[in-house]
Amino acid sequence: MPELPEVETTLRCLRPYLSTTIIRDVTIRQYQLRWPIPNDLKSKLQNKCIRSLSRRGKYLLLHLEEGSLIIHLGMSGCLRILSDSERLVPHAHLDLILANQLILRYIDPRRFGAILWTDEGPLEHPLLKNLGVEPLSEIFTGDFLWRRAKNRLVPIKSLIMNAKIIVGIGNIYAAEALFLARIHPTIPAGSLSPEQCQTLVDSIQQVLQQAIKQGGTTLKDFVDSEGKPGYFSQQLNVYGRAGLPCVRCGAELKALRLAQRSTVFCSGCQK
C-alpha cells in the first residue's frame, strides 16, 4: 500500500491524537510480522508518554521518553484511531490503548510491515541508518540524482525506487514521476543527462506533493487513521491504466515487467 504520501498522510492524521498522549495498555494479537514484534514491547510502552511523531522514508516513528517505536506499513498496513467500542476486524495485530480512551490499531493483512523498538536514536537503527535522501528535502537535487545515477546500468525506475538512494518512492509514484518527466522507465540510469535528472527530480517532488495534498492514493484499502481514503488515484496518469489512451498524446499506454513490478508508460511520450 503505502508509499511516502500515504505514510505522510497517516502521520499528519495521527499527530493530534498521539502527541503528548500516555499509552495505558498494549494488546498484541500477532507477533509474526516481517520481523517479530519484540517480546518485551508492552513493558517498553506501558504508562509511557508519546512525546512526538516523525517520518523517515516510509517508516513512522513514535518518540517516547526513552526510545522509539518504529512502524512500517509494508504493502497492506494501516494505522487507525478508534473508539473502544469498535469491533475487531481480522488482521488487527496490535492495539495501543491510550489514556484518552482511544485506541491506535495496527492492521496489516499481508504482514509485510514491521513494529520494532529501539532504545537508541531511531535513525541509528540498522533499518534506517543506511536510508537515502528524503525526496522532498532540499538536498535532493538534479545534480544529486545525476551523480548517483552516473555509470549505473539499472533501469532508471529501479534506481528511483532504491531506498538506499532516495526513500519513499514506490511503484505508483515511480511510474507517475517518469511519465511527468517524459523519461522511459527502462533506460539505464547512467544515460540520463543532467537536465533530465533535474526534470525527474522536479517531477518526483511535484507528484509526491500533489499526492500528499490529496491524502494519498487509495487503490483498494488504504485509509488514513480516521478511515478516510486518499483521492490521488483520480490523478494517476499511467499507473493501472495499461491499454488506455495516454492523457497527453492519446497513444495506447504499454505495460512491462521491471524487477517483478508492473510498469506502465507511454511509448509515445516517454523516451
Partner DNA sequence: AAAAGGACCTGGTGGC
Partner DNA sequence: TGCCACCAGGTCCTTT
Q: Active-site residues: which are they?
A: 2-3, 58, 261
CB of 21 to DNA, least distance (A): 26
122, 142, 170, 185: which one binds DNA (CB under 7 A): 170
CB of 240 to DNA, least distance (A): 8
Nearest to 43 by CA among 20, 15, 64: 64
191 binds DNA per the rule CB under 7 A: no
103 φψ region: left (φ > 0), alpha (ψ -120 to 50), beta (else): beta
Window 81-110: contact mask with DNA (x via CB under 7 A): ---------xx-----------------xx
CB of 182 to DNA, least distance (A): 21
Span near DNA by CB under 7 A; candidates 40-48, 133-141, 198-206, 213-221: 213-221
* Residue 85 burial class via C-beta count within 10 angstroms: exposed 0-12, middle 13-18, buried 19 and up: exposed
Span near DNA by CB under 7 A; candidates 37-45, 61-69, 70-78, 199-207: 70-78
* Residue 167 burial class via C-beta count within 10 angstroms: exposed 0-12, middle 13-18, buried 19 and up: buried
Residue listed under C-alpha cell 488514513: 224
210 binds DNA per the rule CB under 7 A: no
Nearest to 79 by CA among 223, 176, 252, 245: 223
CB of 65 to DNA, least distance (A): 27
